[in-house]
Amino acid sequence: MVTKDSLQKIKQDVENYIGQEVCVKANIGRNKCVYRKGVIDSTYSSSFLFIDSDTSSKLSYGYVDLVTNNLEMSLPTGEVIASYDFSTPKYARL
């Protein structure tokens, strides 16, 4: 279960990589993914700003995208930055 504290932890994890080059894999639906390389520019209460290095366009992603695995961030070396698993069941079956 995702709580406000867990989203705050994700925000702090993303803040550690401000100004560093990262790779982003965004799931855009129907088994299609977009790969981008760029820099994390700034963070806000529910989203962060990403600047694409190829097109210099600014993209906004939410921390919820990381939780739902619609967005994956990694370093250019391939090391995964953020991996969150909140798939524990909310209710236990008796």
Task: Read off the tokens for 78.
Answer: 């391939």
**Domains of the chain, start order:** 4-82 (2.30.30.100)
Q: Report pLDDT digits (tens) over 13-69.
A: 999 999 999 999 999 888 899 999 999 999 999 999 999 999 999 999 999 899 888
SS3 labels along 1-14: CCCHHHHHHHHHHH
What does the alpha-carbon distance between residue 33 and residue 56 come to, in Å, rounded to a whole number? 19
Partner residues linked to 21 by β-bridges: 39
The torsion angles phi and psi of 10, rounded to 5 degrees, stand at -65, -40
What does the alpha-carbon distance between residue 84 and residue 66 come to, in Å, rounded to a whole number? 7
pTM exceeds cut of 0.85:
no
